Amino acid sequence: GRMDVASEQNAPVVSVFPLQDVVGPLEPGAYYVSVKDAADLDSAEQPPASSNRWIMMTDLAITAYEGGNGLDVTLRSLQDGRPVPDTTVQLVARNNDILAEGRTNEVGRVAFDAPITNGQGNMEPKLIMAYSAKGELAVLDLTRAPVDLSEYAVGGRRVSGDIDAFMYTERGIYRPGETVQLTALLRDHTGKAIEDRAGNIVIYRPNGLVAGKIRFDDPEASAVVEGYELTKGASRGQWRATVEVDGVSGASGSVNFAVEDFVPQRIAVDLDTDKDAPVLLGESRSVEVASRFLYGAPGAGLTVKSEARIEAAPTPFPQYKGFKFGRHDESFRERILEMDDTTTDGAGIATVTLAPGNAGSNAGRPLRINAVVSVLEPGGRAVTESVRIPYRPERLYVGLKPGFEYSVEEGQDAAYEVVAMNEKGQAIAQRLNWKLLAIDYHYDWYRDG
Residue-wise pLDDT for 387-439, tens only, equals 999 999 999 999 999 988 878 888 888 889 999 999 999 999 999 998 888 88
Domain 163-259 has CATH 1.10.3230.20: no
325: region left, alpha or beta (phi > 0 left; psi from -120 to 50 alpha): beta
Which helix (H) or strand (E) segment holds residue 23: the answer is helix 19-23
Report how far residue 40's alpha carbon sits from residue 21's, in angstroms, rounded to the nearest whole number.
25
**pLDDT value of residue 37:** 83
Question: What is this structure's pTM?
Answer: 0.46
Provide CB contacts within 8 A for 391, sequence distance 6+.
278, 279, 310, 313, 356, 360, 366, 367, 368, 369
Contact by Cβ (8 Å): 56, 136: no
Report residue 384 CA to chain centroid gap.
28
**pLDDT value of residue 296:** 83
Q: Please state which of the four CATH numbers 3.40.50.300, 3.30.70.20, 1.20.1250.20, 2.60.40.10 is assigned to the domain occupying 267-395.
A: 2.60.40.10
Going through 161-221 in order, the beta strands assigned E by DSSP cover 163-169, 173-174, 179-188, 198-204, 210-217
Taking Cα atoms as reference points, which of 138, 150, 173 lies closest to residue 257? 173
- Locate the domains of the chain by residue range: 60-141, 163-259, 267-395
CATH architecture of 60-141: Sandwich (2.60)
Asked whether the domain spanning 267-395 has the same topology as the one spanning 60-141, the reply is yes
Q: Which of the residues in the chain have pLDDT under 70?
A: 1, 43, 157, 160, 449
Percent composition of the chain: helix, strand, coil (DSSP 3-state, to 5): 5, 45, 50
Taking Cα atoms as reference points, which of 97, 88, 90 lies closest to residue 71? 90
**pLDDT value of residue 449:** 65
